[in-house]
Amino acid sequence: MAGKVALLLWGAQTTQLLVEPPWTPPVLWDRVTLTCQGSGTAGAITWYKDGQRWWEEGPDQFRVTESGTYQCDRPGTGRSPPVNVSNDRLVLQVPARALLEGDTVTLRCRGWQDKPVTWVSFYREEKQLQRFRDGTELSLSPLRLHHSGRYRCRGGVHSEVSGRWKESESAPVSVTVRGVPLSGVSVSVQPPGAQVALGDRLVLSCAVATGTGPLSFSWHRGDSWALLGTGPHLELRHVGDNDSGHYQCRASNGDSVAESVPLNVTVLVPVANATISPGALAQPVRAGDPVTLRCSVQVGSAPVTFTWLRNGSEVARGPLLELGDVHVGHSGTYQCMATNQLGQDGHRMFRALSPELALMVTLRAHWDTAVAVNIGRSLLFLVLLLGVIGGCHWWQRLVARKPQDRSPQPLSLSVPPRVSPGPAPPRHPQVTNAQLPGPYEGQQDPGATYESVM
């Protein structure tokens, strides 16, 4: 409802009385309207006046016609704080709203039925603040926490009965100044970026964008609300492995609480335990074989840089060293160096060296080529040998077939002469079976063999 302000909004009750016009205490001659408001179960409202049950099953709103102290009760939410409707001769009024530090507030001293008031003095506790001859309002701007206290006013009010000016004093009114609700709580960190090397110093700071009042702080990490520290700063002089996580700051001014967005802090770890895989190579490695080496670290925060060394000199960078088809020039001692840069300035370098790996490349001509040549020669010899054997076999078959293909020829027998100790008789000419004269011709026994005829 526009223009209506809840009284005692900072209380714990859920049932409240809204008053219009929004001043406290309200005065009867302002035609005050009270509204019972709450979040409990809807139903008939019970009204109380001066502490006594006054109206059962009443409406949630009515206009006050009698001065007194009013309360309402809603089913399930309880009774509201009291509201005093005054009808006094002199009344000091304060805006019926939460008074926040930094605001401007006006206190006004009013006579009964708005009768004129002369010379007004304002007091906080027992101390006089200001005296006015013509004014009836006191401005407090900007409000500070020390402005909280009990205020009253004193002034001259015209009496219609006696027709004279009579000095009167108002009932005291409590003024409570509260800090502005907190918002915009944030956490900053040194070193910037929320990354810190193992063993370095880390400082977290909590700041509040809006809000007033005496502030208190508490620090927490992760989902645990275990208290890490109090105050606007949290210092970790030597961060460890377990200090990584989400840090959060909670701020309070007694009236409100606000929390920051969690800030992720990363503890960077130096590289260590660099290794090369495969850890051992077949000895020796033959020329032409592909070789790939990989470097890794067991611990170390990114970014990690890998450098490959052969015989102590840099040959490549990156986690992989691909030599391709190796040759004799690749022989040597290989080592991987892993580094990462940490620290607040980013210039602190940590280094880890892998164990050395020996690579020996041998030429294939010393063994493989000779074997290949010998195998080739053996195969050639075998082919030639098979050719010769085949040729001989063919020739023998050819020779075996030729006598059958030709006409038969007479067998020529030569008869050597006999040698005797006497003078040699005259030698007769050699005679073959085919040349025997007439009587023997045609009488030869085919089964007889004659070597010679004497």
Rg (CA), the chain: 62
Could you tell me the pLDDT band of residue 283, with boundaries at 50, 70 and 90? low
Instruction: Using pLDDT thresholds of 50, 70 and 90, give the confidence band for residue 300.
Output: confident
pLDDT band at 180 (very low <50, low <70, confident <90, very high): confident
How many other C-beta atoms can be found within 10 angstroms of the C-beta atom of residue 207? 13
| Residue range 272-365, CATH number | 2.60.40.10
Encode pLDDT of 222-270 as tens digits. 877 789 999 999 999 999 888 999 999 999 988 889 999 999 998 989 8
Split at pLDDT 50, 70, 90, the class of 391 is: confident
Q: Identify the band that residue 89 occupies on the pLDDT scale cut at 50, 70 and 90.
A: very high
Q: Judge whether 5-178 and 272-365 match in fold.
A: yes
Where is mean pLDDT largest: 214-218, 363-367, 377-381? 214-218
Chain segment 23-71, per-residue pLDDT in tens: 999 999 999 999 998 876 566 889 999 999 999 888 888 999 999 999 9
Q: At CA 137, angle to CA 134 and CA 140, rounded to 5?
A: 135
Domain ranges of the chain: 5-178, 183-267, 272-365
Q: Is the pLDDT of residue 446 over 70?
A: no
Q: What does each C-alpha distance from 88 to 34, 63, 85, 168, 337 come to in angstroms?
A: 19, 19, 9, 10, 91
Q: Which two tokens stand for residue 18?
A: 């809204």
What is the tens place of the pLDDT at every residue in 130-168? Answer: 899 888 999 998 998 899 999 999 998 877 666 677 889
**Going edge to edge, which strands form the sheet with 90-95?**
23-24, 90-95, 105-111, 137-140
Query: So what's the pLDDT on residue 448?
Result: 36
Q: Which CATH number fits domain 183-267: 2.60.40.10, 3.30.720.200, 3.40.50.720, 3.40.1190.10?
A: 2.60.40.10
User: In this predicted structure, what is the pLDDT of residue 362?
Assistant: 87
Q: 5-178 has which CATH code?
A: 2.60.40.10
Q: Which residue has the higher pLDDT, 384 or 316?
A: 316
Residue 406 has a pLDDT of 46
Here the tokens at position 65 are: 């016609």
Q: Left, alpha or beta for 158 (phi > 0: left; psi -120 to 50: alpha)?
A: beta
- What pLDDT shows up at residue 369? 52
Q: Is the peptide bond before 425 cis (omega within 30 degrees of 0)?
A: no
The pLDDT assigned to 318 comes to: 93
Q: Does the pTM of the predicted model rise above 0.95?
A: no
Say what the pLDDT of residue 247 is. 95
Show the tokens assigned to 429: 């000419």
Rounded percentage of the chain residues whose pLDDT exceeds 90: 42
pLDDT at residue 254 in the model: 82
Q: What is the pLDDT of residue 164?
A: 76
Residue 153 exposed, middle or buried by CB count within 10 Å (0-12, 13-18, 19+): buried
Tell which phi-psi region holds residue 110, choosing left (phi > 0), alpha (psi between -120 and 50) or beta: beta
Determine the pLDDT at residue 198: 86
Distance CA 279, CA 173 (A): 86
Q: What is the mean pLDDT of the chain?
A: 80
